[in-house]
């Protein structure tokens, strides 16, 4: 196994950071601490908005001949319940930021994905799958029955991060492609090691085992787009709008996001970010970069779409090796 140690200033060498060298409980704590703080702040914000509304009602009240309201507006206008989805989004965004800053950055994980990520894939592949009454694999049961300890709950919070760039320097090339933003890590482990298709998972429960940003893209439903329509959107979204290179094109091989006014009015205006990447075949989804383990079609998770340019490209499969996942004997390496 290659040594991914990093040289620091002076003569100190930091050893390669493997799964067993990481205190995964810290990710759970970081998430819980940040999410709890966000919850308190959101509740205070909600209460403050409510009281300001009451004050405005009092100011607007006209009791006739300058009379003031002698009752209590809160009796007739009780504070509404906080929107739980809004609150959950606030808490998750804060929790994810906490994991990134107080766990991923603290450990410097971006230096060692080639070491700990294959070990994580092996661990995930060893977790049993349970199917629902509809015969599809239950993401809810997978989460509840496998991530049971503080350490595994911390690993779960890490797996749910949207910002994979926080621990992958470059996602569209090299071995990092195996774990890029288009790869559903839990599902990938079972497809890679056991040949379980992504379509075998219950789409109504994938949000329990896949990070929110990728889940949103995988659940995106749309009317069929033509290749010409998608190529037009890609061309507009990759056009440089200012500076010395105005009018030229960003490379679809490495540009990770479309931009420009077309996104506000074109066919992809309501399309989730990663679904835009898939449909227009840029960045990790580009034929030069993609693999069959990525989600490349929101409507068919196991499909490798025909390339948008002149010919069909068959995405290469990653051959499982010790650099891809470890056998049980290699686990403590």
pLDDT of 202-254, one tens digit each? 999 999 999 999 999 999 999 999 999 999 999 999 999 988 889 899 999 99
User: Residue 169 is encoded by which pair of tokens?
Assistant: 């320097």
Cα–Cα distance between 69 and 215 in angstroms, integer? 51
At 149-202, the pLDDT tens digits run 999 999 999 999 999 999 999 999 999 999 999 999 999 999 999 999 999 999
The answer to whether residue 322 scores a pLDDT higher than 90 is no
CB 202 within 8 A of CB 136: yes
Structure tokens that stand for 52 in this block: 């300001």
Q: pTM, whole model, 2 decimals?
A: 0.83
Structure tokens at 255: 């540009």
pLDDT confidence of 2, banded at 50, 70, 90? Answer: very low
Q: Please list, in sequence order, all residues whose beta carbon lies within 8 angstroms of the beta carbon of residue 107, skipping any fewer than 6 positions away.
A: 17, 22
Percentage of the chain with pLDDT > 90?
70
| Contact assessment for residue 292 and residue 304, using Cβ atoms and an 8 Å cutoff | yes
Residue 50 pLDDT class (50, 70, 90 cuts): confident
Is pLDDT at 7 greater than 80 in this prediction?
A: no
CB under 8 Å to 144, separation ≥6 — which residues?
none
pLDDT at 32: 97
Extents of the domains making up the chain: 21-107, 110-333
Q: What is the largest CA-CA distance in the chain?
A: 87
Residue 136: predicted pLDDT: 98
Please answer whether residues 216 and 160 qualify as being in contact, where contact means their C-beta atoms are separated by less than 8 angstroms. Answer: no
Could you give the C-alpha distances from 333 to 131, 265, 330, in angstroms and in order? 33, 52, 5
Write down the mean pLDDT value for the chain.
86
- Within 10 angstroms of residue 321's Cβ, the number of other Cβ atoms is 8
Cα 202 to Cα 192: distance, rounded to the nearest angstrom = 18
């Amino acid at each position: 196994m290659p040594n991914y140690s990093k040289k620091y200033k002076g003569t100190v060498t930091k050893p390669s950071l493997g799964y067993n060298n990481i205190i995964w409980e810290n990710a759970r704590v970081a998430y819980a601490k940040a999410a709890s703080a966000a919850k308190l702040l959101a509740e205070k914000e909600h209460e403050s908005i409510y009281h300001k509304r009451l004050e405005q009602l009092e100011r607007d009240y006209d009791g006739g001949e300058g009379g003031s309201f002698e009752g209590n507006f809160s009796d007739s206008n009780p504070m509404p319940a906080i929107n739980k989805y809004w609150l959950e989004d606030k808490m998750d965004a804060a929790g994810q930021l906490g994991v990134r800053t107080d766990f991923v950055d603290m450990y410097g994980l971006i230096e060692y994905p080639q070491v700990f990520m294959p070990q994580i894939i092996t661990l995930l592949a060893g977790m049993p799958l349970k199917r629902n009454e509809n015969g599809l694999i239950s993401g809810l049961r997978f989460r509840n029955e496998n991530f049971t300890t503080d350490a595994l709950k911390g690993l779960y919070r890490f797996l749910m991060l949207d910002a994979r760039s926080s621990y992958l320097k470059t996602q569209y090339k090299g071995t990092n492609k195996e774990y890029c933003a288009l790869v559903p890590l839990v599902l990938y482990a079972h497809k890679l090691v056991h040949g379980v298709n992504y379509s075998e998972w219950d789409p109504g429960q994938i949000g329990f085992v896949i990070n929110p940003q990728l889940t949103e893209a995988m659940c995106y439903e749309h009317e069929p787009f033509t290749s010409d329509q998608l190529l037009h959107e890609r061309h507009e979204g990759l056009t440089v709008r200012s500076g010395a290179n105005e009018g030229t094109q960003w490379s679809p091989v490495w540009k990770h996001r479309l931009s420009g006014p077309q996104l506000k009015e074109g066919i992809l205006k309501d399309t989730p970010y990663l679904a835009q990447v898939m449909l227009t075949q840029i960045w990790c989804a580009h034929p030069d970069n993609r693999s069959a383990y990525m989600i490349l079609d929101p409507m068919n998770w196991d499909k490798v779409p025909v390339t948008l340019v002149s010919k069909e490209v068959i995405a290469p499969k990653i051959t499982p090796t010790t650099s891809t996942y470890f056998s049980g004997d290699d686990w403590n390496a």
